[in-house]
A = this chain, B = another copy of it.
């Protein structure tokens, strides 16, 4: 190896997979801002402003709207490890790979995990979830809103209310759906939600915005634990079992955000990114962003169908930002992806589990939920399929253009 290596110059890529996608250039520019100390008054103000922006993103008045330093999975684990006491029954309705992940993390937190399953490509009815709640009597229900592995979007209206009526805390992982699909947290009475930046929010992975209802905060505060050396800060311990993680201890993290409790050293640049992602989204407006995702997803799908490809899954419950398509029998799905990447610089997604090799997944999200990205993808996918020997009725471009107003 030459020492030291050259400056890293990434090759040009249009990232049309299920995430990460190309970050909005505004976000990348925002990340070049100089650092600040984390107790600088200007930085504390930035933190408060970022909280307020994410309250708007989540459509919530939850005071405890904060960010966890790590990828979306860090937000998930922070919520689960802070909420779950060993032995707690946790119900996870699983409709894809990321439901499995919730089970996995909850089990590691010591939960007694109860799964209900929906066939990949479908979602749950509220009745099914209600029946599972009655059967398992969990303390916590954890599920995804959008699961990119299947492209399905679980309807959540009524879920929070149902949980509250049963004394169950509801937690939703909305990483893949936020900003591309409606998620009015307060209206839907959800207790805890976590997301990431790398999908429809148009940023890089590395920080996870979360929001917690007052009831959740109360439960977590009961597990507050004094870290040696911080006792002078007037930090009163709770009576509940200590949270098994220090890094993901939301009692401390909320204390850090709200009262300046010393915990981690802030990932300042990621916070700059999160701030700018929210700003971009709120400038556009939530409803407009949802409509934009719907439009470009529809245009893409019109093009794919015109190309003769078959869409995957329950069409009435699809996410508005990622599309599954069956890999045609005539081609090797991975070989097509390789050609598309190496010859056209366009990345689309492969799949997991029962769908591995069966479907491709194409994202139209965040900065890439725009006309040029959709039409480039269609034209180049069609060209690639032709390279791989397929006869296509159309490259799908004209049909996609017809969808646009």
A interface vs B, CB < 8 Å?
Answer: 1, 3-5, 7-13, 15, 17, 19-23, 28-38, 40, 42-43, 46, 49, 52-53, 56, 69-74, 77, 81, 97, 100-101, 103-105, 108-110, 196, 198, 204-207, 227-229, 232, 242-248, 262-270, 272-273, 275-276, 278-279, 282-283, 341, 347, 352-353, 356
A229: chain B residues at CB < 8 Å are 97, 100-101, 352-353
Contact A205 B268, beta carbon cutoff 8 Å: yes
A110: chain B residues at CB < 8 Å are 244
Contact A31 B31, beta carbon cutoff 8 Å: yes
Q: Which of B32, B40, B71, B356 contacts A232 (CB 8 A)?
A: B356
Contact A33 B20, beta carbon cutoff 8 Å: no
Q: Which of B8, B100, B204, B268 contacts A228 (CB 8 A)?
A: B100
Q: Which of B28, B53, B341 contacts A4 (CB 8 A)?
A: B53
Most B C-beta atoms less than 10 A away, residue of A4, A70, A109, A272: A4
In the bound complex, what is the Cα–Cα distance between A162 and B15 (angstroms)? 50
Main secondary structure of the interface of A (DSSP, over half): loop
Given the known interface contacts A8-B272, A104-B246, the answer about A28 and B32 at a Cβ–Cβ threshold of 8 Å is yes
Q: Which of B5, B30, B101 contacts A49 (CB 8 A)?
A: B5
Given contacts A13-B34, A69-B71, A69-B74, could you give 6 more A-B pairs where the C-beta distance is less than 8 Å? A4-B278, A4-B283, A5-B53, A11-B42, A73-B247, A206-B269
Contact B270 A1, beta carbon cutoff 8 Å: no
Contact A279 B70, beta carbon cutoff 8 Å: no
Given the known interface contacts A4-B279, A20-B38, A246-B73, the answer about A269 and B347 at a Cβ–Cβ threshold of 8 Å is no
**Nearest B residue (CB) for A96:** B229
User: Least Cβ distance of A341 to chain B in Å?
Assistant: 7
User: Least Cβ distance of A220 to chain B in Å?
Assistant: 15
In the bound complex, what is the Cα–Cα distance between A243 and B263 (angstroms)? 23
Most B C-beta atoms less than 10 A away, residue of A1, A53, A105, A247: A247
Contact A246 B108, beta carbon cutoff 8 Å: yes
Given the known interface contacts A73-B247, A270-B270, the answer about A265 and B8 at a Cβ–Cβ threshold of 8 Å is no
In the bound complex, what is the Cα–Cα distance between A110 and B243 (angstroms)? 11
A42: chain B residues at CB < 8 Å are 10-11
Q: Which of B33, B53, B265 contacts A72 (CB 8 A)?
A: B265
A262: chain B residues at CB < 8 Å are 352
**Nearest B residue (CB) for A265:** B205
Q: Which of B30, B108, B205, B246 contacts A105 (CB 8 A)?
A: B246
Given the known interface contacts A13-B40, A227-B100, A267-B71, the answer about A8 and B46 at a Cβ–Cβ threshold of 8 Å is yes
**Nearest B residue (CB) for A29:** B32
Contact B196 A265, beta carbon cutoff 8 Å: yes
A232: chain B residues at CB < 8 Å are 353, 356
User: Least Cβ distance of A152 to chain B in Å?
Assistant: 15
